[in-house]
Amino acid sequence: MTKRTPTGVAQKLEKLGLGRRTLLRGVLAGTTVAVGLPALDLFLNESGTAYAGGVGLPTRFGIFFFGNGVIPSVWNPPLGRSIAPDTYEWEARGMLEPLADVKSLCSVVSGTKVLTTNTNPHLSGPAGLFAGADLVDGTFVDKSIDQRIADEIGDTRFRSLQVGVQPSDFCHSMTGPAMVNPPETNPFALYERIFGAGFRLPGEVGMVDPRLGLRRSVLDAVSDQTTRLQRRVGAADRARLDQHFTGIRELELQLARLEEDPPMLDACARPVMPEADYPDIEGRPQLELKNRAICDLLVMAMACDQTRVFYDMFSQSVNNMLFLDAVSGHHQLTHDEPDPQPEHERIVRFIVSQFAYLVSAMQAVREGDGTLLDHSAVLFTTDCSLSRTHALDDYPMVIAGNASGALRTNVHYRSPSNENASKVALTLMNAVGVTAAEYGFGEAHTRDSLGAIET
């Protein structure tokens, strides 16, 4: 039975006293009964800024991804003063110039290599970095890193959130092979999902809707049906239903969270409702406005502790969007534009500026003695290094945030030896509180993290 409750969602419900049908017993015929439940603020000290008992605020993990790669010679900042072996000061130049204002909050990692067999020009890189292995049957062999992290630290209303700016159904965030978590790319829908009906601000008194309990009883019945169906199918379908089951239990947990008093977090506020639509103008998507809207919601979702893990798919691999005033699609430019590819460079600089917006927005949220960004690690990366050849060496990575003090910021680590990029993944997992001794499979396997960017 334990096998049927992956990620321990059931145990979490149990811990909260929200075992099967518990709540329902408190809801009586025809009467609206507000059921008091353990509130998260029990764990906070009086100022509401830090967990009691000296434990710090939660650490978050995120990925901000864009498609189509870079030009490493223009992306990598020139090596500044050496401050440790292979570790340098850095200046925001070239493609990373838009990070100038937040540079001290970020570290650059260059010169590592994603050690997967490069069989799929825009997916082998993400497969190696995010799932640690070659593609098998065109998909990841295992759940992606954000989901592994969410298993450990995703004990919030949303175990994780997947968002994006370019409309698409694909995301590297996967709960297993071919089990994609589609990104929400409509800001209004994202707002509704997080801050719509049922959401309460810290301190906001609300009558608990008896329908919440009834909805949980429905989900309870649906999970029973799922478990029964699992007994009648083969292993592959059982795994599919396992994922479905997990989703159902997660929704039960979400509803239970809505019945609790919301966590007392100073920075939590209801964000401004985004536009209903961001239509293309003259065939060009309103990327900047949409990115702001998505980032603002994401940041507030974390400030209100509605989630601690996100995957932001800013643009898709192989996307041919018309950025800025470019005359050709981005992917086509990466291949066809003659050197030194000024249009491609301009587009990547624009994307870096969009990441810089997210970093600034996270830095602007005060939390305890620091900021939301201080309690986060956000990996900024793409699907290959040199776009034109889809190379996997010298993989472009920037990490924002110090993960509550676990990561070193404001440095540029440049590997002289094509080190395994999995080391960075292992470092990130450990930094946000996941105890892992190794990362990756086969060639990409590592037991070493990247000490140079750890504190």
Minimum Å gap between C-beta 197 and another protein is 10
- Would you give the binding string for another protein spanning residues 297-336, x where CB under 8 A is met? -----------------------xxx----xxx--x--xx
Nearest to another protein of 39, 212 (CB atom): 212
Minimum Å gap between C-beta 370 and another protein is 30
Of residues 59-78, which lie at the interface with another protein (CB under 8 A)? none
Say whether residue 28 binds another protein (CB under 8 A): yes
Q: 359 and 106 in contact (C-beta within 8 Å)?
A: yes
CA distance linking residue 418 with residue 403, whole number of Å: 25
* Residue of 236, 276, 416, 417 interacting with another protein (CB under 8 A): 236
Minimum Å gap between C-beta 342 and another protein is 13
The partner residues of 281 in beta bridges, in order of sequence, read 284
Query: Phi and psi (nearest 5°) for 68?
Result: 90, 0
Minimum Å gap between C-beta 35 and another protein is 12
Nearest to another protein of 332, 410 (CB atom): 332
# binding residues, another protein (CB under 8 A)? 87
Nearest to another protein of 107, 116 (CB atom): 116
* Residue of 53, 85, 283, 416 interacting with another protein (CB under 8 A): 283
- Give the distance between the most distant pair of CA atoms in the chain: 73
Say whether residue 34 binds another protein (CB under 8 A): no
Minimum Å gap between C-beta 125 and another protein is 9
Of residues 186-205, which lie at the interface with another protein (CB under 8 A)? 186, 189, 193
- Would you give the binding string for another protein spanning residues 163-182, x where CB under 8 A is met? ----xxxx----x-xxxxxx
CA distance linking residue 331 with residue 344, whole number of Å: 9
Minimum Å gap between C-beta 178 and another protein is 5
Nearest to another protein of 107, 223 (CB atom): 223
Of residues 389-448, which lie at the interface with another protein (CB under 8 A)? 389-392, 441
Minimum Å gap between C-beta 114 and another protein is 11
Stretch that binds another protein, among 36-44, 99-107, 231-239, 365-373 (CB under 8 A): 231-239
Say whether residue 231 binds another protein (CB under 8 A): no
* Residue of 55, 84, 233, 364 interacting with another protein (CB under 8 A): 233
Say whether residue 27 binds another protein (CB under 8 A): yes
